[in-house]
Amino acid sequence: MASTNRSGDPATDRRADYDYRNETVDRPGMVDDLERLVDGEVRFDEYSKQLYATDASAYEMTPIGVVFPTSTEDVSAVVSYCARREIPVLPRGGGTSLAGQAVNEAVVLDFTRYMDDIVEVDPDGRRARAQSGVILGELNRTLAPHDLKFAPDPSTADRSALGGAIGNNTTGAHSLLYGKTDAYVEEVEAVLADGSVHTFGEMAVEELRECADSDGELIERIYGEVVRIIDEEGDAVEETYPDLKRNVSGYNLDVLIEEARGEGATEKGTVNLARLLVGSEGTLALVTEAEVALEPIPETKSIALLTYHSLLDAMEDVGTILEHEPAAVEVLDGVLLELARDLEEFKDVVGILPDETDTFLLVEFYAEGDEERREKVETLLEDRVGEIAFDGLEAYDSDEQKAFWKMRKASTPILLSRTDDRKHIAFIEDIAIPPEHLPEYTADFQQIFEDHDTFGSFYAHAGPGCMHVRPLVNVKTAEGVETMVSISDAATDLAVKYGGSVSGEHGDGRARTQWNKKLYGEHLWEVFRDLKTAFDPDWLLNPGSVCGDFDMSENLRYGPDYEFEAGFEPTLNWENDNGFQGMAELCHGCGGCRTSQEGTGGVMCPTYRASKEEITSTRGRANMLRQAMSGDLSDEEQFDTEFMHEVMDLCVGCKGCAKDCPSEVDMAKLKVEVENEHQKRHGSSLRTKVFANIDTLSKLGSATAPLSNLASELPGSRLLMEKTLGIARERSLPEFHRETLVDWFEERGPRVSETEADRKALLFPDTYTNHNNPEAGKAAVRVLEAAGVHVAIPDGVTASGRPAHSKGLLEKSRGQAERNVSVLAPRIEEGWDVVVVEPSDAVMFQLDYLDLLSGDDVQRVATNTFGVMEYVDRFRLDESLTFEGSDEHLTYHGHCHQKSTKKDHHAVGVLRRAGYRVDPLDSTCCGMAGSFGYEAEHYSMSQAVGRMLFDQIDASDGESVVAPGASCRSQIGDEYDEKPPHPVERLASALA
């Protein structure tokens, strides 16, 4: 066997002469050099490095710096520069890797920011060409009009990049039909370790021989090693590689040998070297562009959901189910289902299952028509229900199918919703075995858990035998780390025992590289290393992965040396395990906050969607906050003004992450807590105080109206406000009404007596409705009274506290909450409900008061407070009303706080019953976000977020827009020169 001469690990040998981690590297010089060499961005600041120190795995390593290339030329320039100076390089996509292959001490190249173009689509040839940074979900949305798709479908497809799919040899839930990414890669453009650019695709072995030269250029030496492997290692590869659809461990030598021997997709004697790079995790070359084969989108689908009393029962049934030729067979066990029941996002879906369900199998079929898809489901249910499965559900409606798939695809972050020190972390979640061995394999694995006094969850791809297994361990202790390694060792033995692989989907990385030697043996391990050396002589491309020196117990995000020090006593109530710390550590990096608006919907995360900057994502902010409090940044960094400005400032407090993040990371709550402490230490700005006391200013504005409305129109007044208070001159300011809602109601009085009413409601006079938009309040009164409700406006209340709370002035918002609760709780005990017109104020009562106060009174107020449209819908008050039957088509934009608490649907239902046609937008935050959009430094971001909403409004068929939020109406009004009405106003106008 030919072998490169070396004393040991090439990376170790190199580091003996050059330590890129010490101060011999002129970092400022590197930045200057790279900025001259590339058109993209170069960031070596501490914050950027920390943002790229983690991915979705259990690992953390601070990179040397980050570059955002704009082209293959940029990538080549960076690699050439680093090669000359022996500096490692790491390509990165969406950072969703679970094995730690996307973190390293290297110069990170993030392809997703600029290199995300779809270069060409050839529908007739079923081909597409795209840059490595394109997100798979975006690629498929582009292909959908052609009824085509890129077939591998990981659960993270809406934030995973094509380059990452190639690097990991990604597959997905439908691998029973489609296999892995390597089957679809036809050609790649790649940058080699010396910076040279080459195109890899189909090539005759004889041509390889002709081009090979062990003393020649890098590409000629690569060809020589490939030929040597084909000639000398074919039998060893065939004998050693597991016979599996789902093996992505090591290098893709089995595909190489199959093709060379005529067993693969190519003609005998012809190999596709692009596929040799698939699954190499950036250790052989950096793929910058790829041509991929496409598959037709199935005409229709259907789902059978089989329920079982135990996981082992379900595993016994998989083999028989496969005989029905499904497109996918996915499993969720009892551990996951219990966690999902406690999450707002999934409790409704889990509630559909029979009570005694411990495990279910989701079986999906593809079909060419409705009759066929129903027949497939019915045949399966007839065959299996009553045998091992005790019940079965059918799903033909697309929304039902999406709900089941959403829960399945969110399995990993659901598992990581625990906020204590024990986590279901990834390190052996990826073993694949022949599916016929699933029952005994699962039983053996459960015994491993029992031997280590823990348990875990089993979920995902039961059909192809690649179940994800997540043990519960605490790696913050030395004992926990030992347990992790011991479980991994035993699990690898199981993989070998049953003819499986240590990775069936997520790759080797830091978690599994060390086990490849046990899986493949010493001989093939050395073959891997020789191939690596041929491609990368100095081991500078993502060094350590696949066949390197990674130790799974090192560089853990939470290890025995990890310490968390908040540095202050939290003000808010934190009911979760580990309190504030538990929430700060909850983000595990799945990247769900990095999705785009188009095709994904949801609220989270509006500023990331507008900017595509990692630091504006929930993941970015959560990582930075945790790192600041665990010593990765300087002492008390989290309270520094720069930290607040760079990290927390662009969080608009939409609360979308508390719902859309499957782990329910509540960044809005984290932000106000840290902001509160920051202001205790550094004081509050004049503008912050102004916005926090907007109720007082609004009283003055109403008292002096209409003169107060003219002030902002005086020449130079807006410029003066921008200079003195930082209020954007482009913004129109709210108008004040001389007659407030309270004034109007006091003079008018109630029209339904308390004795005649079935319900009685206290209409809370929120600041905006009272002083700026009393017409919405009047409409609310008319609607409620028309429905027979006795309405009153409570005496003695103050502002809701929302403005102060959103600015982090928690003592002020707590004082306002205490006063309102003291007034409202006794009235609620007397049978009154609390109704609020403004959504953000309603959610303040319903949710945020529980963070500020404790006890029965605040619980009573939170439970009995309703947004006005929610109130009408919840108690079906509109059923007693008569409407004029308007069929006007409305476009409805719900407030992000309502969406985040699942209350935005109420207005849609009521308006439709009133006769309107309603198009509800699946929109994120409007971008105004209270005071955010008024602040001069935030104006451009506010507009960028708003444009996503404006595009949706323009695309809607609605004749006019309705929006319950004052901020939303201001943002839309500034764009379209007319403020839309509150939904309750349209409801009132429809009354007969």
Q: What local confidence, expressed as pLDDT, does residue 495 receive?
A: 97
Residue 37 pairs in a beta bridge with none
E strands, 309-411, are 328-332, 359-367, 391-395
- Tokens at 307, concatenated: 């329920």
DSSP-assigned letters across all residues of 476-506: TSHHHHHHHHHHHHHHHHHHHHTT-BS-SSS
Name the amino acid, one letter, at 275.
R
Q: What local confidence, expressed as pLDDT, does residue 992 receive?
A: 80
Q: What local confidence, expressed as pLDDT, does residue 13 receive?
A: 39
DSSP-assigned letters across all residues of 406-457: HHHHTHHHHHTT--SS-EE--SSTT-B--GGGHHHHHHHHHHHHHHTT--EE
DSSP annotation of 298: P
Angle at alpha carbon of residue 586, lines to 583 and 588, rounded to 5° = 160
Q: What local confidence, expressed as pLDDT, does residue 21 receive?
A: 35
Q: Which residues neighbour 966 within 8 Å (Cβ) at sequence distance 6 or greater?
A: 734, 768, 769, 772, 773, 838, 840
332 three-state secondary structure:
strand
Name the amino acid, one letter, at 584.
A
Q: What local confidence, expressed as pLDDT, does residue 597 receive?
A: 63
Q: What local confidence, expressed as pLDDT, does residue 598 receive?
A: 67
Burial of 220-230, coded b for 16+ CB within 10 Å and e otherwise, reads ebbbbbbbbbb
Q: What local confidence, expressed as pLDDT, does residue 599 receive?
A: 58
Q: What local confidence, expressed as pLDDT, does residue 379 receive?
A: 97
CA distance 802 to 798: 11
Helices (H) and strands (E) in the chain, counts: 46, 27
**Phi-psi region at 281: left, alpha or beta (left = phi > 0; alpha = psi -120 to 50):** left
970 three-state secondary structure:
helix
Q: What local confidence, expressed as pLDDT, does residue 605 receive?
A: 92
Distance (Å) of CA 607 to CA 287, 373, 476:
29, 41, 33
Q: What local confidence, expressed as pLDDT, does residue 461 receive?
A: 95
Q: Does pTM top 0.85 for this prediction?
A: yes
Q: What local confidence, expressed as pLDDT, does residue 8 receive?
A: 40
Backbone angles phi, psi at 113, to 5 degrees: -75, -45
The stretches in the chain having pLDDT less than 70 are 1-28, 264-267, 597-600
Among 904, 885, 902, 913, CA closest to 962: 904
